[in-house]
């Protein structure tokens, strides 16, 4: 694609990167075939190719974006399926993130939008605030249908029926292992700590059982993804900087073989810290952290999971977009589940988003609901005993649309290697127990 940015414009790092990405696009349109919003809406401007044209026009002309441009860019899920499909290697993620930052800095949204985004950015990244908000949403849930705004209804409807107690395993500490093969830091996350404490608990048990000493470093917090995708760069970088400093301190004082992340949306962002902090004082440390960041499935592949142990059970595996498209990890979770003895089935539309996408299901509830319905139907079609995923957002989204229990992949792997039965099974009537191979 031909661009006409001036030399003065290209002095800006974000604009220069956008120029590189735009020039790589050859207008082929392959991306439209795998874009969830284009599949649902059928509008060229709701496809990656259409959004690329809008972004190019907006940035080249340095114009204040109009409502139409903002609407189409806001509708992007950042599922990154287009990056998997693109034959030209267009790095759409960096382009749309820069466009969102530009919009945040130049466009004045309606008051209701500004308030919603402010509330989400000030609550979701902070576990204790989020817990309080969840309690309030739980109380208000019966009145969701009375809410005049679809986004407010979605916020109330997505509130879980139960809020787990705080897990002390998320406090700064070290979990030893009997046969130490590696030392890893576990990112405990933010929203996940409020929504589902079983995931980190299972991750710690599984890693230590397989020979990884697990440290929970002091000073960690939100990865910055939520505010980053809103275009709130200063807030996202502040969150990310705290993590970088925390992990570098741990690396220098105790040594680290990996930073383990069990929420794939966070993993995609942390692995991009090198780009986010390029040409800043934290550039070198950010690159080190990005290089150490690994999805939990990547680490488990290195630790040689024992074979067998799982009950005779079919698992429908949901591939989170941030894992399969953002991190290009497609086979490891399925390989691990099969090694543990589970039968693994995949839905017919495994490449398409479930509609969660961070806060997308709260800000674009109508589109999100259509994608959820489609995803749930294809998952249920394989008639599984349980659904497994590697991202808390996907788990909450899919779980709100089906009676089939859904758990994190590590919960099943923990169970198959001697850990407790996942709590999600409590109402399924399943009585099968795995053979405890390694304790």
Q: 187-238: per-residue pLDDT in tens? A: 999 999 999 999 999 999 999 999 999 999 999 999 999 999 999 999 999 9
Q: Which residue has the higher pLDDT, 428 or 329?
A: 329
Which pLDDT band holds residue 154 (cuts at 50, 70, 90)? confident
Which pLDDT band holds residue 136 (cuts at 50, 70, 90)? confident
State whether the Cα torsion 30-42-364-96 is positive or negative. positive
In Å, what is the CA distance from 58 to each residue of 5, 102, 110, 373? 11, 9, 20, 34
Q: 7-26: per-residue pLDDT in tens? A: 999 999 999 999 999 999 99
DSSP one-letter code for 33: G
Least confident of 147-156, 197-206, 393-402: 147-156
Other CB atoms closer than 10 Å to residue 16's CB: what's the count?
Answer: 12
Average pLDDT over residues 344-365: 92
Measure the CA–CA gap between 112 and 91, rounded to whole angstroms: 32
Residue 274 is predicted with a pLDDT of 97
Nearest to 92 by CA among 101, 100, 102, 82: 82
- Per 3-state DSSP, the chain is made up of helix, strand and coil in percentages (nearest 5) of 55, 10, 35
Residue 166 is predicted with a pLDDT of 93
> Interhelix angle for 283-292 vs 233-253, to 10°?
70
Q: How confident is the prediction for the chain on average, in pLDDT? A: 92
What end-to-end distance do the CA atoms of the chain give, in Å? 57
pLDDT at 184 over 80: yes
Residue 152 is predicted with a pLDDT of 74
Residue 176 is predicted with a pLDDT of 96
Average pLDDT over residues 383-398: 96
Residue 310 is predicted with a pLDDT of 87
Structure-block tokens of residue 366: 């109508």
- What residues contact 318, with CB distance under 8 A and at least 6 apart? 347, 350, 354, 375, 379, 387, 388, 389, 394, 398, 406
Q: Which residue has the higher pLDDT, 73 or 132?
A: 73
Residue 150 is predicted with a pLDDT of 79
Least confident of 67-76, 274-283, 378-387, 427-436: 427-436
pLDDT at 428 over 70: no
Residue 434 is predicted with a pLDDT of 36
Q: Which residue has the higher pLDDT, 150 or 81?
A: 81
Residue 429 is predicted with a pLDDT of 38
Residue 216: phi, psi to the nearest 5? -105, 100
Are 36 and 371 in contact by the 8 Å Cβ rule? The answer is yes
């Amino acid at each position: 694609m031909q661009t006409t940015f001036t030399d003065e414009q290209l002095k800006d790092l974000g604009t220069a990167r956008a120029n590189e990405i735009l020039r790589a696009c050859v207008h082929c349109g392959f991306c439209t075939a795998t874009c969830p919003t284009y599949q649902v809406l059928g509008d060229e401007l709701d496809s990656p190719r259409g959004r690329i044209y809008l972004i190019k026009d907006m940035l080249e002309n340095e114009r204040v974006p109009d409502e139409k441009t903002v609407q189409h860019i806001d509708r992007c899920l950042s599922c990154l399926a287009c990056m998997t499909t693109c034959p030209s290697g267009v790095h759409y993620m960096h382009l749309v993130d820069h466009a969102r930052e530009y919009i945040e800095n130049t466009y004045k949204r309606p008051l209701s939008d500004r308030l919603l985004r402010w509330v989400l950015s000030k609550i979701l990244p902070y576990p204790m605030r989020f817990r309080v908000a969840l309690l309030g949403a739980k109380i208000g849930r019966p009145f969701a249908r009375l809410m005049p705004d679809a986004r407010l209804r979605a916020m109330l409807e997505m509130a879980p029926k139960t809020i787990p107690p705080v897990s002390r395993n998320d406090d700064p500490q070290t979990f030893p292992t009997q046969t130490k093969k590696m030392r890893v830091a576990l990112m405990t996350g933010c929203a996940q700590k409020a929504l589902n404490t079983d995931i980190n608990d299972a991750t710690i048990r599984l890693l230590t059982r397989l020979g990884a000493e697990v440290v929970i470093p002091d000073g960690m917090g939100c990865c910055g993804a939520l505010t980053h995708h809103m275009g709130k760069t200063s807030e996202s970088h502040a969150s990310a900087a705290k993590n970088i400093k925390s992990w570098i301190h741990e690396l220098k004082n105790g040594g680290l073989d990996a930073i383990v992340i069990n929420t794939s949306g966070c993993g995609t962002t942390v692995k991009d810290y090198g780009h986010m902090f390029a040409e800043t004082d934290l550039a070198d440390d950010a690159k080190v952290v990005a290089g150490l960041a690994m999805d939990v499935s990547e680490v488990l592949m290195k630790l040689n999971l024992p074979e067998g142990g799982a009950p005779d059970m079919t698992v429908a595996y949901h591939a989170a977009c941030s894992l399969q498209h953002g991190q290009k990890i497609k086979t490891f979770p399925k390989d691990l589940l099969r090694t543990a003895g589970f039968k693994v089935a995949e839905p017919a539309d495994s490449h398409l988003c479930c509609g969660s996408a961070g806060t997308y299901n709260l800000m674009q509830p109508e589109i999100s609901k259509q994608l959820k319905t489609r995803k749930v139907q294809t998952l249920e079609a394989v008639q599984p005993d349980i659904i497994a995923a590697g991202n808390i957002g996907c788990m909450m989204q899919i779980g709100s649309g089906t009676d089939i229990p859904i758990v994190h992949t590590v919960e099943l792997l923990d169970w198959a290697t001697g850990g407790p039965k996942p709590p999600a099974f409590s109402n399924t009537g399943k009585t099968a127990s795995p053979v405890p191979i390694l304790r």
